[in-house]
Amino acid sequence: MKWTLSQLQKYRSKDYPIDEVVNLDEIKEIDPNIREVSPIHITGRADIDSSKVTFHLKIEGHLVLPCSRTLVDVNYPIDVETTETFLLKGLDYETEEEVHQVKGEVIDLEPVLQEILLLEVPIQVFADEGSSEKGAPQSGNDWEVIFEQKKDKIDPRLAGLAKLLDQNDPSSHS
């Protein structure tokens, strides 16, 4: 997804529609936890003026990541909306959003898209219960993975207070 500045300037003060499918397999080399990257569908528009180009993008696709518990493949959906601004001149641009400086005569969105996808990778991802048989074992010789159910326990030192509150609660008397 590269454009020269002269290509984009033809659409100055008009919407430039974007609807492309890109291959971003290079992020697998950056983050080895990413096993596969689907073709990423990029839609949106670019607003072009004399000093900047602003891309309003929707990024859709999925990544295949390892389950944190069993190491089986998990399809992790990507659905992100972002606004990226590229400054055409070396102006100081005061804004809350992050801006990118254009180096040379070409705007290349791929490094920005790669960064966005890498930021979307969660710390942990878990497979559905049914697919865990194919992954790492859940039990072995004298061990097994257990899942604790958290129970609401009342501190015994406060149990008397709970009884007192139940006695004073008019809604508890029928």
Domain locations in the chain? 2-132
Question: For 136, which DSSP code?
Answer: S
- Contact between residue 41 and residue 60 where contact means Cβ atoms under 8 Å apart: yes
The identity of residue 33, as a single letter, is N
Closest by CA to 6, choosing from 109, 110, 104, is 104
Using CA atoms, how far apart are residues 33 and 63, in angstroms rounded to an integer? 10
Tens-place pLDDT, residues 52-76: 888 899 999 999 988 887 788 889 9
- Which tokens belong to 87? 């400054």
Question: For 131, which DSSP code?
Answer: G
Residue 105: what pLDDT? Answer: 81
Share of the chain above pLDDT 90, in %: 12
Helix or strand or coil: residue 113? helix
Using CA atoms, how far apart are residues 22 and 142, in angstroms rounded to an integer? 49
- Which tokens belong to 76? 């992790």
Tens-place pLDDT, residues 119-155: 888 888 887 765 555 656 666 677 776 766 666 677 7
pTM metric for this prediction: 0.67
- Contact between residue 99 and residue 93 where contact means Cβ atoms under 8 Å apart: yes
